[in-house]
Homo-oligomer: A and B are copies of this chain.
Amino acid sequence: MLKRKQLFLRRPKSTKALNQVPGTVTYIGRKESVETRLEVIDYNKESFERYISTNPEDAFNFEDDDKNTWININGLNNTPEIEKLGKYYDLHPLILEDIVNTNQRPKVDEFQDYIFLVVKMLYYPKDSAQKTNGTLVNEHISIAVGKDYVLTFQEADGDVFEGIRDRLANAKGRIRNHGTDYLLFSLLDAIIDQYFEVIDSIGDKIELLEDNLFQAQPSDDITFEIQELKRTILRIRRAVFPLREVLSRLEKLDNDLIDDKTGNYFRDLYDHIIQVSENIDIYREMTWGLMDMYMTTISNKMNEVMKVLTIIATIFIPLTFIAGIYGMNFENMPELEWEYGYFVLLGIMILIFIMMIYYFRRKRWI
């Protein structure tokens, strides 16, 4: 009956695979049939190399040189290959579980040789023509940062890192001169930049709904859309808010992998994520207020309907009664025989009509 527009996020399947041996690496996301695709970028100040493969072993060749290597893996459903890679880079089994568990909330774990992060990538795919109607993608992304490598694990093709690839290829900005910590910063910066766009689209959506409230017919669709918007904001909160702690910890991390100077950049990111959080909470309150607005709008409309009914009924019911009186068939009704009885009565009726109109005017109903 009601066709729901899934405006933003699909409800994630939160069910973990049940009754499994803990530490089992099982992908529980929406297995969009992608084959696992590897993208290796090997770079230093002087050189830049990019290589794409579907075979994880290809990645290992790039490890032994003195360049920084960024290995991006798209597609998590092919778990054996993820495990192979994990074994090569010596990742903890529970980390591997986190990589494929798309319900894992954002976090940072510090290990001897590497830092591991889980982040949520929120973005509108480029081909979605109209932002406010496009479907928001909420993609689980895991990042492992070692001395000279960065591993990124994504659910599917399509990401927000095109600008970084471009800067690496063309040696724009500082990125080729710095280590893997700066690459990590660049990745997080690109992700958080997208958050701003996402919350802007929420703001647009709220304004759109506000306009609709006053123009549209009372309709359950709007109720549903507001509820949907509430849900979306709650989900975005859940993706964004834990990142505050992640960035706060990253900034304070006393670790060889993160240069002191890069710490400043992380503090900047922390500032940005606080801004995003504050905006989310403002939009949250605005959205909650929409329901009240809608309610008063419906009540106003009903008030208007009632007024029309009351005006018409209040004017014509008494007049009809008077007409009824002189429609009676009593034999002795003197007025009926008066020569101008009919016209006098018509005059009285018109008088009553005018008085009623005047009454409603004064009551400001008309």
Contacts and interface: CB of A to CB of B under 8 A. Distances in A.
B302 A306 contact: yes
A83 interface: no
Interface stretch (A133-141, A246-254, A291-299): A291-299
A336 B331 contact: yes
A346 B219 CA distance: 38
Nearest to A281: B234
Contacts of A23: 173-174
Interface stretch (A48-56, A73-81, A317-325): A317-325
Contact of A200 (B15, B210, B340): B15
A332 B342 contact: yes
A103 to B, nearest CB: 6
A162 B19 CA distance: 8
Interface string A284-314: 0110011111111111111101111110111
B196 A14 contact: yes
B330 A94 contact: no
Given A19-B163, A230-B285, A220 B300 contact: yes
Interface string A329-340: 111110111111
Contact of A306 (B213, B224, B309): B309
Copies of this protein in the assembly total: 5
A275 interface: yes
Given A105-B271, A174-B23, A318-B316, A200 B14 contact: yes
Nearest to A319: B321
A289 B296 CA distance: 14
A197 interface: yes
Contact of A328 (B24, B303, B329): B329
Contact of A227 (B18, B186, B286, B321): B286
A190 B21 CA distance: 10
Contact of A341 (B317, B326, B330): B330
Contact of A314 (B224, B308, B319, B340): B308
Nearest to A303: B302
What interface size band does chain A fall in? 35 or more
Contacts of A323: 321, 324-325, 327-328
A310 B320 contact: no
A329 B327 contact: yes
A68 to B, nearest CB: 17
B318 A317 contact: no
Contacts of A303: 218, 298, 301-302, 305
A271 B105 CA distance: 8
B310 A308 contact: yes
A15 B274 contact: no
B318 A312 contact: yes
A72 interface: no
A320 B309 contact: no
B105 A275 contact: yes
Nearest to A360: B308
A147 interface: no
29 contacts: A2-B214, A11-B203, A14-B196, A14-B200, A18-B193, A18-B197, A19-B190, A19-B193, A21-B174, A21-B175, A94-B265, A103-B275, A214-B224, A217-B364, A223-B296, A230-B285, A231-B286, A291-B293, A292-B295, A295-B299, A305-B306, A309-B309, A320-B320, A328-B336, A329-B333, A331-B336, A331-B337, A332-B338, A332-B339
Q: A-B pairs with the 4 shortest C-beta distances?
A: A323-B324, A21-B173, A19-B163, A326-B328
